Structure 1
Amino acid sequence: MKRKTSRKKLQGKLKESKEWIKNNRNKDIHMIMDRFKRSLVGYYNYYCITDNTQSVHHFRNKIQYLLFKWLNRRSQRKSFTWDKFNLFLHKYPLPSPRVKVNIYDLRKKIGYIL
């Protein structure tokens, strides 16, 4: 059986992130990126299990799109093209998801204990 993040939970977290960046887009860029780094690390720690990596990558891509969209609205001119935004992400990288819990290894360990 494959595990996957609930659509409701994913949409709720994206909506919360959207509202936060919408209200705080005029803040310092270091503060914005620090908040999203911490948010992503927490999300990865909770949802990054063996079969859920595709859903977690999807969440990260949506967060990148939200950053691109709302950071472009900081002024009347567009601040970023996708190329410039990728350079920006190279300077302020978002953490990459890694599997935190391998559920298949847990089954082996529990089997040895029993």
Structure 2
Amino acid sequence: MTEDEITKQIIGCAIEVHKKLGPGLLESVYEECLQYELLQRNLLVKRQLTLPVVYKDIRMETGYRLDLIVENKVIIEIKSVGAINDVHKAQILTYLKLMGCKVGILINFNVYKLTDGICRLVNKY
């Protein structure tokens, strides 16, 4: 399955979650519900994956946790904020770089129309 095909599945699942729950809940609620919807579509999903940082050839297990990764190809970062800003985009770009993935989706569920809260990012490194 290509990144584009996975992205379409993710967006469809996110819209389903948003239709049922609406805006204003905690990120963790949307994360768990989105994982459920993705699993219902028989997609491989990992949740709260720790991203180590390599420092002087030593693997440090502190650092980052990504919300979801689908089919080991597309990273999802979930937000429930007033607006997406550059810090949120930088966060997912960092995850893409550390994981060696090409595509990430930033989803802000705290919007009236979910398509206004979706941002697809591509790792150009």
Q: What TM-score range do you get, normalising by the shorter chain?
A: 0.3 to 0.5
Larger Rg: 1
* TM-score (ref. length: structure 1): 0.36
Higher share in helix: 1
* TM-score (ref. length: structure 2): 0.34
Greater RCO (Cα-Cα under 8 Å, separation 6 or more): 1
Higher share in strand: 2
